Amino acid sequence: MERNKVIVAFEKFGRSFLLPVSVLPAAGILKGIGAAFTNPSTVKMYPFLGVKGLQIFMKLLVTLGDVAFKNLPLMFAVGVCVGLAKKEKGSAALSAVLGFLSFHYILNFLLKTTGTLVVADGLTKAQVSQLMAQSMQTKVLGIQTMDLNVFGGLIVGVVAYFVHKKAITIQLPQVIGFFSGPRLVPILIMPVMALVSLIVFIIWPSVQNVINIISVLILKSGYIGTFLYALAERFLLPFGLHHGLNWPIRTTELGGIFNVNGKTVYGTINAYMAAISTPNGPIDPNITRFSSGKFVYNMFGLPGAALAMYKTAKPKNKKIVGSLLLAAAGTSFLTGITEPLEFTFLFVAPMLYAVHAVLAGITLLSLHALGAAFLTPTGHGLINYIIYGVLQGTRTKWYLLPITGVVCFIVYYFVFKFMITKFDYKTPGREGDIEDIHISTKEEARSKYGLKTLKDEMREEKQEKMSTHDQALGLIECYGGRENIVTVDACITRLRIDVKDKAKVDKKRIKEEYHAMGVSENGMQVQSIYGAHAQTLKMEIIDILGIED
């Protein structure tokens, strides 16, 4: 059954954020390190850091970080357009840049024409800044324009995408045929953005008021809002919809409107970066309430759950289970990548995942209540905790993490151990042969429960164009041919084929040409993830090879 079009559009839009935000971790690290070592209190504590050359270098890092954070609207305009476009992405990027410039130049023209442009004549810099803030104006790439923040970039990105989508298919008359297709997009984007600018100029003040009201409501939701955010984010993750919740909170007014060192800042990431750049200034825990707790359950809670799974595994399976869970827990602790563990919960039993979501909500709520004030653009693990927490000094209250982390580890361990044994959940190592022990992938978990993302539907469309027989023939070839295949089997989601020589298996082709969601090895067995389709492929391959099931 076709998924709701609204959900598909929401997911597609959320996934388009990934391109522009992929720059933020690196930019954040540069700015975080630079801000930490140029902080006056840090320099006072460690005088050797005051060396002029070192301070110049650290200020350079801050400047490099600001390149991304001060140009987020442009990055989102280009990133969203390119992320949504399916072809001619170069033309899409150029159109987004041109559309962004056109948008703000025309807004500047409209402000001048209506006599509402703030003029700096006879005013101090502080007075101009205050007046521009009151008038909802700012400067973008040197253009004085309406202050739309990241929303301006999102508007341009979406409009540029639709113009690009329609224009690249238009074939002009032969005499001007040179301008057809991708060349037509930049030509059309300017008049279209002129119209969009006029509409935005008229309606945005009212829209901004609504956004401000929503922002205030989110801030006033307090601890309950923090808990519900964490709960919603975890429940959206299996559907691939969590990006649509996270990035508006992190980069727009929906995450809060904060006053940092006399300047109005929108979104949690922007506010935190401004706060750590302010010498010795306190950090409002409302800025970090959707982030601090993630460090705790990523670095301590999920490893506690991994230990519970290890302890409840059968003794004969503990060696292999331990190595798999140690790697997954270590990844979660160091980098904040939690999917191997979270999707294993989901694959084994949705109730385990639901309990994890509730515990995650309680963890975020607790850190908010304690006043923890550390945040990262993405990746809530040890590396970013040191950069954005420890190195920024005690004003982040970084010392709360190890204290609450121990408690979180213990709670996750005992809760998960109780549930696994009480309800006999088949976590890795509790049943089946040793070759069946594995950490579940997100594709595997989603396939088991019929949860489909846009990516899954695209993969299924490709599979439908290829018959099962042709797919089976291709897989036999990819596995090294008949002579290299020993046995063929399948579990719920994986096609399991034992081979004589693993070097002859073409994993790349299995994934790219024959649409496996993933390929892994276990001894001389090569496993391809196909969801429920794995059993069908198994029977087809057995029939072709003429071997017994």
Do 531 and 515 form a contact (C-beta atoms < 8 A)?
no
Q: Which residues are catalytic?
A: 491
Q: Order the strands of the 518-522 sheet from edge to edge.
A: 485-490, 494-499, 525-529, 518-522
CA 229 to CA 212: how far, in whole Å?
Answer: 18
Number of other residues whose CB lies within 10 A of the CB of residue 470: 12
**Tell me, what's the pLDDT at 132?**
80
Query: Out of 287-301, 375-389, 508-522, which region has the weakest mean confidence (pLDDT)?
Result: 508-522
Q: Are 69 and 31 in contact (CB under 8 A)?
A: yes
Distance (Å, whole) CA 69 – CA 352:
38
Lowest mean pLDDT among 184-193, 353-362, 446-455, 507-516: 446-455
Helix (H, G, I), strand (E, B) or coil at 519: strand
Q: In terms of Cα–Cα distance, which of 542, 537, 471 is closest to 509?
A: 471
Q: Which residue in this structure is represented by tokens 């809530």?
A: 380
Phi, psi angles (nearest 5°) of residue 155:
-60, -50
Q: Which residues contact 396 (CB under 8 A, 6 or more apart)?
A: 283, 372, 373, 374, 388, 389, 390
pLDDT of amino acid 2: 47
* pLDDT band (50, 70, 90) for residue 464: low
Helix/strand/coil (H/E/C) assignment for every residue in 440-501: CCHHHHHHHHCCCCHHHHHHHHHHHCCCHHHHHHHHHHHCCCHHHEEEEEECCCEEEEEECC
Residue keyed to tokens 């959206």: 236
Mean pLDDT in residue range 436-440 = 62
Quick check: helix, strand or coil at residue 259?
strand
When the pLDDT of each residue in the chain is averaged and rounded to a whole number, the result is 83
Over residues 396-405, the mean pLDDT reads 95
pLDDT at 361: 95
pLDDT of res. 449: 53
pLDDT in the model for residue 7? 57
Cα 388 to Cα 372: distance, rounded to the nearest angstrom: 12
How far apart, in whole angstroms, are the C-alpha atoms of residue 76 and residue 81? 8
521's tokens:
């090895």
pLDDT (average), residues 501-518: 84
Q: Bridge partners of 144?
A: 139
Q: What single letter denotes the amino acid at residue 59? A: K
Q: What is the mean pLDDT of residues 462-480?
A: 78
> Can you tell me the distance from the alpha carbon of 82 to that of 92, in angstroms, rounded to the nearest whole number?
6
Q: What pLDDT is stored for residue 465 in this prediction?
A: 59
pLDDT at residue 386 tops 50? yes
CA distance 291 to 252: 15
Q: Is the pLDDT of residue 269 over 90?
A: no
* Each residue's pLDDT tens digit, 113-162: 999 888 877 777 777 777 887 788 888 888 999 988 888 888 999 999 99
Could you tell me the pLDDT band of residue 177, with boundaries at 50, 70 and 90? low
Q: Is 188 left (phi over 0), alpha (psi -120 to 50) or beta?
A: alpha
- Please, what are the domains in the chain? 468-545 (3.30.1360.60)
Q: What is the pLDDT of residue 433?
A: 57
Dihedral, 434, 435, 439, 441 alpha carbons, nearest 10: -160
Which residues are 265's β-sheet partners? 258
Model confidence over 326-349: pLDDT tens digits? Answer: 888 998 999 888 888 888 877 777
Strands 263-266 and 257-260: antiparallel
- Produce one character per residue of 5-16: b if its CB has 16 or more CB atoms within 10 Å, e if not: eebeebbebbbb
Poorest-pLDDT segment among 266-270, 390-394, 466-470: 466-470
- Residue 425 reports pLDDT greater than 60: yes
- Taking CA atoms, 534 is separated from 159, 497, 515, in Å, by 41, 11, 12
The answer on pLDDT for 43 being more than 60 is yes
> Is pLDDT above 70 for 14?
no
Reported as a single tens digit per residue, the pLDDT across 75-113 is 889 988 888 888 788 888 889 999 999 999 999 999 999
Q: Is the pTM of this model over 0.85?
A: no
123: CB partners within 8 A, 6+ apart:
131
Q: In the predicted model, is pLDDT for residue 1 greater than 50?
A: no
According to DSSP, the residues that pair with 149 across neighbouring strands are none
In the three-class reduction of DSSP (H, G, I as helix; E, B as strand; rest coil), residue 439 is classed as: coil
**Stretch among 162-171, 304-313, 462-471 having the lowest mean pLDDT:** 462-471
Nearest to 428 by CA among 304, 322, 547: 322
| Portion of the chain with pLDDT greater than 70, in percent | 87
Residue 262: φ, ψ to 5°: 85, 0
> Which of 226-240, 266-280, 324-338, 440-454 has the lowest average pLDDT?
440-454
| Distance between CA atoms of residues 144 and 500, nearest Å | 68
What's the average model confidence in pLDDT over 356-379? Answer: 92
CB 69 within 8 A of CB 54: no
DSSP class per residue in 69-123: HTTHHHHHHHHHHHHH--S-HHHHHHHHHHHHHHHHHHHHHHHHHTT-S---TT-
- Both structure tokens of 493: 């989601």
